[in-house]
Amino acid sequence: MDPIRRLCVFCGSSRGSDPLYAETARALGQVLAEAGIAVVYGGSSVGLMGELADAALAAGGKVIGVLPQALAHREIGHAGLTELRIVQSMHERKALMAELADGFIAMPGGIGTFEEIFEVWTWAQLGHHAKPCSLLNVDGFYDGLISFLDSVVDRQFIKPVNRDMLLIARDPATLLAKLRAYEAPQVTQWIQSDQS
């Protein structure tokens, strides 16, 4: 796999209920900056997004934000980024973030975070890209989702090889090591005919 130069981080525009979420967002920003990896994210100055960006910038890292025009006021675009790109739609936002990044991390967040990581994971399953997708499972935030996904594998709606494409760790350094070591599996046919 090519070296990781930029990682896209999906995370909440809220700080959440536990101070550990913001603490981990800051730790992730610092870890990536110290590793020489630029952050690609949603461009906001608030919530976990703001914590992540501020920490990466404070550690000397590069941060690229991608923000739709319609959300520029609601999410409060970050004025101090290395680069802030304003796009016209959420579709453009996700496409540009995916294009810029060499891999993806989902931190705690809400519906938008879930939708974003599931979309890029789906693209990986379909063979549209070979970039790693991951969950930063802060204090067990994603434990319920992980259990559900494993149950979906048991019910044979997700293949084990595709489930294993979603990397998981509880701390930024461990997750970064997994992202760097990732090798995409060979995409095979995932739909089986019920007819013999």
pLDDT, tens digit, 9 for 90 and up, residues 165-191: 999 999 999 999 999 999 999 866 555
> In the chain, where are the structural domains located?
6-181
Q: Topology of 6-181 in CATH? A: Rossmann fold (3.40.50)
Compute φ and ψ for 150, nearest 5 degrees. Answer: -65, -35
Q: Which residues contact 153 (CB under 8 A, 6 or more apart)?
A: 159, 160, 163
Q: Classify the phi-psi angles of 127: left when phi > 0, otherwise alpha if psi is within -120 to 50, otherwise beta.
A: left
pLDDT, tens digit, 9 for 90 and up, residues 91-146: 999 999 999 999 999 999 999 999 999 999 999 999 999 999 999 999 999 999 99
Q: What proportion of the chain, given as a percentage, has pLDDT over 70?
A: 92
Q: List b or e across 82-94, with b for residues whose CB sees 16 or more CB atoms inside 10 angstroms.
A: eebbebeeeeebb
Report how far residue 122's alpha carbon sits from residue 125's, in angstroms, rounded to the nearest whole number: 5
Sequence-ordered alpha helix ranges (H) in the chain: 19-34, 47-58, 90-100, 111-125, 143-154, 160-163, 172-181
Tokens (6 digits) for 40: 């690609």
Q: What is the pLDDT of residue 188?
A: 61
